[in-house]
Chain A
Amino acid sequence: MEVTSNQFKQEASKALRNPVLQKALGHIEEGFVEARNQAARRLPEFEQMRDRARDIKAHAIDNLGFYLSQFEDQVIAQGGQVHWAADAQEAREIVAAICLDQGARNIAKSKSMVTEEIELGPYLEAKGLASVETDLGEYIIQLRDEKPSHIIAPIIHLSKEQVSDTFYEHHQKHGYFDKLTERSALVKQARSVLRKSFMNADVGITGANFLVAETGSVVLVTNEGNGDLVTTIPDTHIVVTGIEKVVPTMDDCHTLLRVLVRSATGQDTTSYVSFFTGAKRPGDAAGPSNFHVVLVDNGRSDMVGGVNHDMLRCIRCGACLNHCPVYANIGGHAYGSVYPGPMGAVLTPQLAGVEQAIDLPNASTFCGKCEEVCPVRIPLPSLMRHWREEEFARHLTPKPMRFGLGMWSWLGRQPALYRVVLSMVQRVLGLFAKRGWVKHLPMGTSWTLYRDMKAPKGGSFQQQWRRR
């Protein structure tokens, strides 16, 4: 996975100074955080369901081989085909081969983070197989040649005005020459433009929210309906999904759906939850004759039994992003990965290599809000801490931080010296203080560029306590 996560600091800094982005990020609180709180409150069993959801995913991951095989058998029994891709390259090749085999000219995609992860779109395009993203947000991302900044709200970083400019630039060829100002008009115009893409599509590509082992069903959760259009109109439906998405039964799936949607958008359910099982049956009025599921590993099987095992429970709801104070202030692009925020801070080092994403597990205050809201109770701060340990062990931790931590830890076991050093620090702070406040500290500009510091006085607590 290609990432630019090692530019985190510079990108975060830019993000903090970008007024348009800051205004756009302001929608997170009402749109997601408050909505999720209310949805959780409306369902008294919500916490119990989260426990159950955690247990279902944990069980499925512990028996992943069994459930994937069962799923595969069921898909084949229903006239579908299952492909296994060890890595991104193999997944891309499988999809391209199916498209070429079908003589595909028009490919319509619905939103899928796995296809972002494996960078399917650019690969297909290079093969002369252009695909159109049909989720409104992803469509706008595609027009702007950007990357999504949120796993469920791809254009959360954009304003309505930016969307309007993008449509004005790109929709003239479709006969739309007016600059739109209303959201409803923007949505209507996109509907009209994309209708042709649905109508003419010969291959539809989707992700999956869940795979149900007992029936071989692929479950797709959307609000717009594009996921259903790309799976009912074209003659070929290709599902590209991670191997961790499988759950044992339909009942299990519904428990997960209940917590997924509430955690993601704060709805009780989305407008569309669709279960696709195999190819068009003989005599069916509509539907694709070819049904392919591409099961993508791309580093996931390496996580089984390892320190990041629990991360395989992730159902990609985005709640940890929405509730993260860091994400809420810098947005998703600074993370330099298709998986931003706390879940990305765990997943990106896993998928791209921790040396490619040194900042991500560190760019958390460990406030714990992500773990508090995670529908499947992934201990995200603990997993980020594992990465910090890995970085420390591999000497990836920045040298000054490593030195400072080492000195402080050593000092902590020399109580006499520790007390002397504390007194010295207090005196130094006192020297820099004016009327009791330190406003500039040469060795501590990380602090004093942004805040003052009240100078302590009278010696350390332990000194004063002994002197009492």
Chain B
Amino acid sequence: MTSRQSILSKLPAKATPPAWSSQRLVPAFVQQDQAQLVALFCEKVMLSQATIETVASVNEVPARVAALFPNAEIVVSDVLNNLPWSQVALQRVGLDLAKDGIIAVTDCFAGVAETGTLVLLSGRDRDSRLNFVSQTHIVIVEASSIVGPYEDVWQMLRDATISIPRAVNFVTGPSRTADIEQTIELGAHGPGEVHVIIVDAFEHQP
């Protein structure tokens, strides 16, 4: 008998799906209209010790990044290639894992107002490593993609008929550790700074 068989033989055997309703139980404070959710999201992002700003169009993002980090070397997610990067004073470079201090710019699939969380997907033009090897992570969030509770993110994926990607990363604020004397320090292994740019209109690339 294999270990699989011996383990399963000790567990209650049920071939048919057990009766179960995964009732959603979400906090009341996230059940709001879209404008309120965006405001809540902004508030929670700031509580997570990330910074946030809003621009009208996604085409303004390169200029905003250049304003924050003039003449810096930046690594831009391939999915954002079509933004007007060449028009601003920034140097786009490729990802060098050996280097710390990387500034990375990525999109995200959704924002979760409940905790100011950014939801990032892995994919063809989305290198998940950027989310974690950078020192500064700049994330573009489309206002209409902001939802109340976490559960809505999965519904959005189903609605968009996007099959589940290898990695779905829920990111809330900078990397942190409280291992030493239970005192929080930012920038443990992941980004020490997270900057969120909300755009009013942004065409999604599935």
- Is A302 among interface residues, defined by CB-CB distance under 8 A? yes
- Is B150 among interface residues, defined by CB-CB distance under 8 A? yes
Q: Report the interface size for chain B: residues with CB under 8 A from the other chain.
A: 71
In the complex, chain A residues whose CB is within 8 Å of the CB of B124: 283-285
Contact between chains at A248 and B20 (CB < 8 Å): yes
Known: A65-B13, A156-B182, A251-B151. A272 touches B169 (CB 8 A): yes
- Is A278 among interface residues, defined by CB-CB distance under 8 A? yes
Partner of A187, one of B20, B115, B177: B177
In the complex, chain B residues whose CB is within 8 Å of the CB of A68: 7-8, 11
Closest approach, in angstroms, between the C-beta of A448 and any C-beta of chain B?
37
A265 and B171 alpha carbons, distance in the complex (Å):
17
Q: Report the nearest A residue to B183, measured CB to CB.
A: A183
In the complex, chain A residues whose CB is within 8 Å of the CB of B127: 285-286
A217 and B128 alpha carbons, distance in the complex (Å):
17
Contact between chains at B115 and A268 (CB < 8 Å): yes
Partner of A48, one of B13, B22, B25, B175: B25
Partner of B182, one of A32, A64, A283: A32
Closest approach, in angstroms, between the C-beta of A443 and any C-beta of chain B?
43
Q: Report the interface size for chain A: residues with CB under 8 A from the other chain.
A: 99
Partner of B189, one of A134, A285, A287: A134
Known: A195-B100, A233-B129, A286-B128. A155 touches B180 (CB 8 A): yes
Closest approach, in angstroms, between the C-beta of A25 and any C-beta of chain B?
10
Contact between chains at A49 and B25 (CB < 8 Å): yes
- Is A345 among interface residues, defined by CB-CB distance under 8 A? no
A77 and B190 alpha carbons, distance in the complex (Å):
30
Q: Report the nearest A residue to B182, measured CB to CB.
A: A31
Contact between chains at A251 and B22 (CB < 8 Å): yes
Contact between chains at A66 and B173 (CB < 8 Å): no
Contact between chains at A276 and B166 (CB < 8 Å): yes
Contact between chains at A272 and B171 (CB < 8 Å): yes
Contact between chains at B129 and A232 (CB < 8 Å): yes
Contact between chains at B10 and A225 (CB < 8 Å): no
Closest approach, in angstroms, between the C-beta of B5 and any C-beta of chain A?
8
In the complex, chain A residues whose CB is within 8 Å of the CB of B174: 271
Closest approach, in angstroms, between the C-beta of B132 and any C-beta of chain A?
5
Contact between chains at B189 and A226 (CB < 8 Å): yes
Partner of B181, one of A43, A85, A183, A248: A183
Main DSSP-derived SS at the B contact region: loop
Closest approach, in angstroms, between the C-beta of A149 and any C-beta of chain B?
12
Contact between chains at B178 and A153 (CB < 8 Å): yes
- Is A78 among interface residues, defined by CB-CB distance under 8 A? yes
Contact between chains at B171 and A271 (CB < 8 Å): yes
Q: Which of B1-54 contact A (CB under 8 A)?
A: 2-4, 6-8, 10-18, 20, 22-25, 27-28, 48
* Listed stretches A135-143, A382-390, A418-426, A432-440; interface member: A135-143
- Is A21 among interface residues, defined by CB-CB distance under 8 A? no
- Is A24 among interface residues, defined by CB-CB distance under 8 A? yes
Closest approach, in angstroms, between the C-beta of A151 and any C-beta of chain B?
13
- Is B123 among interface residues, defined by CB-CB distance under 8 A? yes
Known: A44-B27, A159-B181. A225 touches B167 (CB 8 A): no
- Of the candidates B7, B97, B151, B178, the one having the most CB atoms from chain A within 10 angstroms of its own CB is B178
Q: Which of B93-108 contact A (CB under 8 A)?
A: 97-98, 100
Contact between chains at A223 and B176 (CB < 8 Å): yes
In the complex, chain A residues whose CB is within 8 Å of the CB of B185: 183-184, 187
In the complex, chain A residues whose CB is within 8 Å of the CB of B2: 84
- Is B168 among interface residues, defined by CB-CB distance under 8 A? yes
The 3 closest A-B pairs by CB, nearest first: A225-B190, A31-B182, A65-B11
Give 27 CB contacts A-B under 8 Å: A27-B182, A44-B27, A63-B20, A66-B16, A69-B8, A78-B166, A155-B179, A195-B100, A198-B97, A223-B175, A224-B177, A226-B188, A229-B133, A250-B154, A251-B23, A254-B151, A272-B171, A273-B117, A273-B169, A275-B170, A277-B168, A284-B124, A285-B125, A286-B127, A286-B129, A301-B11, A304-B10
Inter-chain pairs besides A31-B178, A63-B20, A136-B177, 15 sampled, C-beta below 8 Å: A52-B25, A65-B14, A86-B3, A183-B181, A186-B180, A187-B188, A188-B187, A226-B189, A229-B132, A229-B133, A254-B151, A269-B117, A271-B173, A272-B172, A287-B166
